[in-house]
Structure 1
Amino acid sequence: MLQSMTGFGKATANFKNKKITVEIKSLNSKNLDLFVRIPHIYKSKEIELRKLIGDQLDRGKVECIINIESNGEKSNTVINKAVVANYYEQLTAIKSALNLKDDNLLEIITKMPDVFSTAEEEVDEGEWQALYDLTKIALVNLVDFRLQEGKLLADEFSMRISNIESSFNAVPNFEAARIDGIKERIESNLEEFVGLAKVDKNRFEQELIYYIEKIDIAEEKLRLNGHLNYFREILAEPKSQGKKLGFIVQEIGREINTLGSKSYHAEMQKLVVEMKDELEKIKEQILNTL
């Protein structure tokens, strides 16, 4: 089933005295471009996390942000009481010596260096497992988002392909008139510049057949019909194959361009323009498919 490369997934849970939040978003990219922001304590686990995300998402510009918040029951930040006492003693002496009346010494002290320090944490394997499991849930939510977006894209692609096919099926209505028009123009030019009486009719018929064979569109029609059917087959496959669809779109474009160069008929050229217009709308979105 077709997937979009645009997606968002989020998962949140509480573990002991902490709230863990995992957010993952993705945009279109030719390859996997992964950015992970993770608390410093789990930097040693980043490779494992990257592998999990890469295996699930395959391609896209992906950003994974993990945030761990304490609920306030326990903090790793410690106040250095000895440093505070030393600052207080010095500031009190200065205040007395200069006869200052500022009583906000504590506020001043909290802004001084080395007043606060953070105790080194060790990796909590239970917390890490909770974080890892939450990442899996966020990935599932992101893939669901991608599938929903992919369904909309698949419906639009099907409609555009049907529109191209509708214009393509109208081409045979003008083929006979196209050949007659070409023959009339050639005869008109011969009469004007040479004179029909001087033209060898057998040679004229041979040259005309050769010319018409050169602008015959039977092969283009056959290939274009095959490409349209193949596009539908790939679109319906269980696994999203955006790159392959992009290659098929290129082949469809080549056949439409060849039809346009060989049409020599106003109504056929209008049909070619309609097909090109629908194909361009597919190209705009095909780069956003996985």
Structure 2
Amino acid sequence: RGLKVRYNLKGDLVAEDLLFAPSVVSAATEIHGKGELLQTTQRLVRQALDRMEEMQVAEGATLAADLTSRASRLQQLVEAIRERVPQMVSGYRKSLEGKIRDWKLDALMPPERLALEVSMFADRSDVTEELVRIESHLAQVRAAFAGGGEVGHKLDFLAQECGREINTIGSKSQSADISGLVVQFKEELSRIREQLQNLV
């Protein structure tokens, strides 16, 4: 509207009219011949692809460092769970002994029977196999990063397997401490799986 008033122009004036007016838009440099245009285009595409590859490598390195750190945290949680399993069994024994005393069932629960009950509890709540399998999966995660190449799908599979094992540990746990560690493990694993979506 300002241009219409300033230059006393008639009719409707739209942005497209300005683009098609002579000398309004011009190339900064003029490329002569199709061969030169092709070479310039190829050079620019190569530069763009090289830059994109550099960015992907840098992003991959950052992601690998983050995932490796998180896998180390999972290993620490596995070790913490393993340390607390004997405490869970001894806690069960003390709890059972306390109930026997409180309910005055000493005559009905001789020491051999108590030992058997504790042994059966220990068997039911044993998570050794699950912990060993998780550690095996975490070792494979470290090996995958060390080997390089495409690792996204493999890591996603290993994360799923770790999830299955930690769920089993959670269902067997009779300890608030172990249950808390299981929750921490699941939270960390969830963050790992979110990061892995950038790789698969």
* 1:263 aligned residue (173, 179, 192): 173
The alpha carbon displacement at 1:169 in A equals 1.8
* 1:239 aligned residue (131, 149, 154): 149
- Rounded Cα–Cα distance in structure 1 between residues aligned with 2:90 and 2:52: 58
The aligned counterpart of 2:5 is none
The aligned counterpart of 2:53 is 143
The alpha carbon displacement at 1:174 in A equals 2.2
The alpha carbon displacement at 1:190 in A equals 4.7
Q: Deviations over 1:120-150 (max 9, x none)?
A: xxxx566446434533332221121011111
Against the structure 1 CA distance between its residues 139 and 213, is the aligned structure 2 distance closer, same or farther, given a 3 Å change threshold? same
- Rounded Cα–Cα distance in structure 2 between residues aligned with 1:171 and 1:165: 10
Against the structure 1 CA distance between its residues 208 and 156, is the aligned structure 2 distance closer, same or farther, given a 3 Å change threshold? same
Q: Deviations over 1:61-91 (max 9, x none)?
A: xxxxxxxxxxxxxxxxxxxxxxxxxxxxxxx
The aligned counterpart of 2:24 is none
The alpha carbon displacement at 1:153 in A equals 1.1
- Opposite residue 276 of structure 1, the aligned amino acid is K
Q: Is the 8 A contact 2:173 2:179 kept in 1?
A: yes
Q: Is the 8 A contact 2:152 2:196 kept in 1?
A: yes
Relative to its length, the structure with more strand (as a share) is 1
Aligned length: 177
- Opposite residue 215 of structure 1, the aligned amino acid is S
Q: Is the 8 A contact 1:242 1:289 kept in 2?
A: yes
1:196 counterpart SS class: coil
1:216 counterpart SS class: coil
- Rounded Cα–Cα distance in structure 1 between residues aligned with 2:116 and 2:38: 82
- Rounded Cα–Cα distance in structure 2 between residues aligned with 1:185 and 1:210: 15
Unaligned runs of 5+ in 1: 1-102, 112-123
Equivalences for 1:165-244 in 2 at 5 Å?
165-192=75-102, 195-199=105-109, 201-244=111-154
Higher relative contact order (CA 8 A, sep 6+): 1
The alpha carbon displacement at 1:225 in A equals 0.9
- Rounded Cα–Cα distance in structure 1 between residues aligned with 2:148 and 2:43: 26
Larger mean Cα displacement after TM superposition, 166-175 or 231-240: 166-175
2:199 counterpart SS class: coil
The aligned counterpart of 1:251 is 161
The alpha carbon displacement at 1:167 in A equals 2.4
CA RMSD of superposed structures (Å): 3.3
Equivalences for 1:70-219 in 2 at 5 Å?
124=34, 127-128=37-38, 130-192=40-102, 195-199=105-109, 201-219=111-129
- Opposite residue 152 of structure 1, the aligned amino acid is T
- Rounded Cα–Cα distance in structure 1 between residues aligned with 2:172 and 2:86: 14
Q: Is the 8 A contact 2:89 2:121 kept in 1?
A: no
The alpha carbon displacement at 1:288 in A equals 1.0
Q: Deviations over 1:91-123 (max 9, x none)?
A: xxxxxxxxxxxx968x99x97xxxxxxxxxxxx
Relative to its length, the structure with more helix (as a share) is 2
Against the structure 1 CA distance between its residues 173 and 145, is the aligned structure 2 distance closer, same or farther, given a 3 Å change threshold? same
**What is the TM-score when the length of structure 2 is the normalising length?**
0.72
Choose 1 or 2 for highest CA Rg. 1
**What is the TM-score when the length of structure 1 is the normalising length?**
0.52
- Identical aligned pairs, as a percentage? 29
